[in-house]
Every structure is written in C-alpha cells, then in structure tokens.
Amino acid sequence: MDIQQTLAQLDSLFQQGAYDQVEPFMLDHIAQAEAVGDKGGVLSLLNELMGYYRSTSRYKDSLATASKALGLLEELGLKDSLHYATTLLNIATAWRADGQTQRAIGVFEEVGRLFLTLGVQDAFLVATLYNNLALAWQAAGDHAKAVQFLEAAIPISRGSPNADHDVAVSLTNLAQSRLRLGQLPEARAALEEADRLFSGLPRPSGHHGAAIAALGEVCFQEGRTAEAVAHYERALADIEARYGKNQWYADMLESLALVLEASEPDRSARLRDEAAAVAAALRPQLRGMALARQYYEAMRGALFSDYAPIAHRIAVGLVGHGSECFGFDDERSRDHDFGPGFCVWLNDADYAAVGKQMQADYDRLPPEFAGFPARQASPRSGQRVGVFSISAFYQEFLGAAALPQSDADWLQIPEPLLACATNGEVFADPAGEFSRLRQALLAYYPDGIMRRKLAQAVARMAQSGQYNLPRALQRDEPAAALMAQAEFIRQTSTAIHVLNRRYTPADKWLVRSVGTLPTLAGLHAPLTQLARTPAAEAVPLIEEICAAVLQALIAQGFSQAGDTFLEAHVDSILGNREG
C-alpha cells in the first residue's frame, strides 16, 4: 500500500466535505493494510482515525483506536519510541477532551518523561505537549500550573514555521489564566501582543475574536470602561464577519451589556434584548423525539463500543415522562427536563453486570448537542434518560415488571402512568425484550374494563353536559355550570381515548391528545372552542359533540341509533360484553 497516496486521498475527502465517507475510507484501508502485512501503514491510519474520532467527540472510539495502535507499536518492538510517545500524546488529548482531566494529566506527564528520555528536539511536539498540559491544568482549575506550561511553550513556538499564529493562541490562553489569577497587567500585555500577531497574519484566524474579547474583559476589570466597550465592539464585528450572529456573538452582546449596565442602562437593556433574540433565532426547531434519535445515532458508537458482547440485547429509545415523549413539546417545554438524551434498557443480568459502568459512560457523553444545551432536570423529576434495567423501568409505571394479571391489577395503575409506559418511540430493540411488554400494554385494557370505562365516560358526559349544565343555567348557578362544562370536556376526551384504545395522559395533555387519535380527532377543535365558550352559550355545541360520539359508538357496535341522550346507551355498551 502507498500510504502517502492513501493519506492524500483522505485529505481530499476532508477538503470536499465528504465527512460521511471519512470513517469508512479509513477502516477499509486499515483492513487492506492489515491484509498485506503493512503494519507501518496500519499505524499511520490508526493515528489518523483516533484524531478523527476525537474531533467528532467519539472519545471512547478514539481511545480504543489508540490502544490498538499502542499494541501494534509494542508488537513492532517500538515501545518507548517516539511513535509510542506521540500515540500516548493523542490518548491524553482524548482524555482531556472527554473531561477526564486528571487521567489526561497523568498520561501527559508520562509523555513528558518519554520525550526527556528520548531527547526529543521537535519543537512542534514539545510545544504541543506543553500547550495541552496547560489546557488540562486550566480545566483542573490550577491556573498557576497552566501559566508555567504556557510560558514554557511560547518560547519554543516562536521558532516554529507557523510561529505567529501558534504564539498568539498560546498568549491568549496564557492571558486567560493570568486573568483568573488576578494578574491584570500581565494578562493585558499578553493579549496586546496576541492582538498584534493575529492582526499581522496573512489570513484571519478564528482565534482572534477570543483575544479581543479577553482584552475587553481585562479593561473592564481595570475600570477602563471606554476601552472595554471598544474591544467588545471589535470582537462583535470580528465574530459577525467570520461566523455571523452565532451563540458566541450573543455571549459578547451580554458581556458588552454588563460593561454598560451602570453608564448606559438603556443601551445595556437593548443589548440584552438583542442577545436574547439572537439566541432564540439560533435555537433549533427540532422536536424532542427527533433530537433524542439524532443524539442516539451520533453517540451510539462512543457509548456502546465497549459492550459488543451484549449489543444484541441493548434496547434504546425515549419513553416515559415528559411532553417530548408524547410529541407535545414546544418552545415553552425547553425550560426544564429537556435536552439531548435517550433511554438505554438492559435485562436484569446485563444491568447487574455493566449497568453502572454504562451509566458512567453515558454521563461522559457530550451534554450539548445540535445547538441544544445540556438537560436541566427539575427537582423531584427523577431519572428520565440514561441506563435502566427493563424491570425497574416498568416497575416505576406499573408497580410491577409484568403485565397486570387481573382486573384489580389493571385498575390500581393510574391511567396516565400507563400512557407514559406506552408513549414515545423505541429506536432499537434487537432482542425484543423491552418491546414485548410494551406491545402487550399497547393492546389496551381487557374487554370488560374497556367497556366499563367507556360506559362510565359516556354516562358522565350525559350527566355533566346534557343534564347538569342546563339545570345550573336555569337556576343561575354560574360556578356549577362552569364545573359541569369542564367535566363534560374531560369525560368526552376520556371517551374518545377509550374508543381509540389509548390510555389517557395527564390532564394538561388530555384534550390535545384527542387531536392525535384516528377516531374523532375532529372533535379536538370543538372541544377547544367549548372551553372558550361562555356556559350560557355552550349547550348547542355540547349536543353537536354528543351526536358525533354517538355515531362513533354506533360505528363500533356499542349501540344502535336512537336516543340522543347519551345515558340511554350505557346499558347497551355494558350489555355487549362478550363472555
């Protein structure tokens, strides 16, 4: 295999933006190199692959690839070689990106010892090590150590081919740590040099805006308000020209608003309004279920790569509490218990063996995705996403991990919990173990319970809407009339769910759910209109709704044409019970 030609083809894929072809290309060529015994080619491609996985947040895949590369290096007798050290450097970088800071620092320090033993003179490699160690110490909150490594990296970088850009980036990082240490003059000096270096580059750098914004923060902390405003305005112009009005732009607007809060409160308020508008415009319109599926598709490789022996028994989806599980989420739903996430269901044996570790791996997945922030759980909301045992998941909703066996068992389960247990979507269930109980629940109540529930709802429709409401109006009892009207809406919605063999959700979704059902979905609009209609004008609309429900009862064989007063059909509904 001509590895240089292969790497050139790989570069071409990146340049063309053919990102969906990158991983298959590398995996295919690794297999080809292995087939012909080209271990050097395999090693080169493994290093490319681990970098690709790291850049796409697939840290577990990156680390697995790196481990394979280390094994190959040992097989080739290259342990403690420069190749071995650079592979370790890639591993440590993946740990850092994955948020496992202390683990990353330990590996970086091992790389440093290897570099010292090997007498590494490559300025780029040494500067890369120091810069990464500095970022790791920043993440660990030790800014003094971050300063130490950045001050070591910068003189080395000054001699590199891409010196101005690399030095400017390191100076910006150095200033961030000095800022956190309260070393404002030193931070200012570093940022002013970074600003000059970025400004002198032949092509603009995406890092320049960060340096300008940091200058604004330094000036603000020094009390130099006018300079701070000027720097933030420069940063805003740079960000907008390079990236448009993105989230970074919105954050800069907030920072500028803070600077102007005391001196120009009106402008500060306008800037905050603009920041909110920019953030709202950026917010994706993706619904929660689609977000969950996309997040699963993007993260399943990273999450499940270590669980191949049980992959055929892992079920995934989004089911349970939350408006997104019913498909009712909107912009207002996003202030609590909303964001990237999905459910993983394991059988009891697998959960006992790997459940805790898989949950830890799930918790390390990137919390932000597709422009959505991390999920913010509300108090007492419980676990809604993550790793569950199938039995514990169903136990929460049913009180047991099995289908109810008697009428009493069925009736003791609150119906909204049955709705939660059967809503949402299952994305994958190769063994069918999770779906087996789900499908049995979706078959609905036993016939006898179904008929009693339907008869009860129909009787209460008649009692509240056709009898109590008119009499309350005749007696000038507006409160009683209003309660009868509300009860009619509730009981009609319940009857429609029974006619569709669907469990009723919580009250806040009950009427909305009517519009999603195959039978009598057209009554969603009249029921909504009825809620807005004064009780004194509601009777004609109630009779129209009752007539539509009666037609559905007749169509399903629960009754025959006749009396328009629905209570007259209750015995027929109960009398049709089979067996």
pLDDT of residue 337: 65
pLDDT of residue 206: 78
Residue 156 pLDDT level (bands cut at 50, 70, 90): confident
pLDDT of residue 334: 63
Query: Is the predicted pLDDT of residue 284 greater than 60, yes or no?
Result: no
Q: Which of the residue ranges 151-165, 383-397, 488-502 would you say has the lowest mean pLDDT?
A: 151-165
pLDDT of residue 568: 93
Cα-Cα end-to-end distance for the chain: 75
- pTM attached to this predicted model: 0.56
- Map tokens 């902390």 to a residue: 221
β-pair type (425-428, 386-389): unpaired
Structure tokens at 475: 């007696």
Query: Is the predicted pLDDT of residue 214 greater than 50, yes or no?
Result: yes
Average pLDDT over residues 175-193: 94
Residue 244: count other Cβ atoms within 10 Å of its Cβ. Answer: 11
Residue 381 pLDDT level (bands cut at 50, 70, 90): low
Instruction: Give the list of residues 6+ apart from residue 139 with CB closer than 8 angstroms, or none.
Output: 96, 99, 101
Ramachandran bin of 386, using left for φ above 0, alpha for ψ from -120 to 50, beta for the remaining angles: left
* pLDDT tens digits, 88-140: 888 888 788 777 888 889 989 999 999 989 888 888 888 889 999 999 999 88
pLDDT of residue 283: 64
Query: Is the predicted pLDDT of residue 336 greater than 80, yes or no?
Result: no
* pLDDT tens digits, 484-499: 999 999 999 999 999 9
Which is more confident, 482 or 159?
482
Residue 577 pLDDT level (bands cut at 50, 70, 90): very low
pLDDT of residue 285: 65
Strand partners, 428: 316
Residue 474: count other Cβ atoms within 10 Å of its Cβ. Answer: 9
Instruction: Give the list of residues 6+ apart from residue 344 with CB closer than 8 angstroms, or none.
Output: 303, 314, 315, 316, 358, 362, 386, 387, 388
Q: How far apart are CA 471 and CA 485, in angstroms?
A: 12
Instruction: Give the list of residues 6+ apart from residue 365 with CB closer than 8 angstroms, or none.
Output: 299, 302, 303
Query: Is the predicted pLDDT of residue 370 greater than 60, yes or no?
Result: yes
Q: Which helix (DSSP H) or strand (DSSP E) does residue 242 occupy?
A: helix 225-243
Average pLDDT over residues 409-429: 95
pLDDT of residue 579: 32
Q: How far apart are CA 30 and CA 24, in angstroms?
A: 10
Query: Is the predicted pLDDT of residue 578 greater than 80, yes or no?
Result: no
Give the Å distances, CA to CA, from 248 to 210, 252, 264, 506. 10, 6, 23, 39
Structure tokens at 336: 């609590």
In terms of C-beta distances under 8 Å and separation of at least 24 residues, what long-range contacts does 376-382 make, across chains too? 376/335, 376/336, 376/337, 376/338, 376/339, 377/336, 377/337, 378/336, 378/337, 381/321, 381/336, 381/337, 382/321
Residue 272: count other Cβ atoms within 10 Å of its Cβ. Answer: 17
pLDDT of residue 74: 85
Strand partners, 426: 317
Q: How far from the centroid of its chain's Cα atoms is residue 575's Cα?
A: 50
pLDDT of residue 125: 87
pLDDT of residue 372: 75
Give the Å distances, CA to CA, from 143 to 95, 150, 221, 360. 19, 10, 18, 28
Mean pLDDT of the chain: 89
Q: How far from the centroid of its chain's Cα atoms is residue 378's Cα?
A: 16
Q: How far from the centroid of its chain's Cα atoms is residue 306's Cα?
A: 22
Angle in degrees, 0-180, between the axes of helices 447-461 and 539-555, rounded to the nearest 10: 160
pLDDT of residue 335: 60
* pLDDT tens digits, 224-277: 999 999 999 999 998 888 778 888 888 999 999 999 998 999 999 999 999 888
Q: Which of the residue ranges 44-48, 180-184, 233-237, 265-269 would you say has the lowest mean pLDDT?
A: 44-48
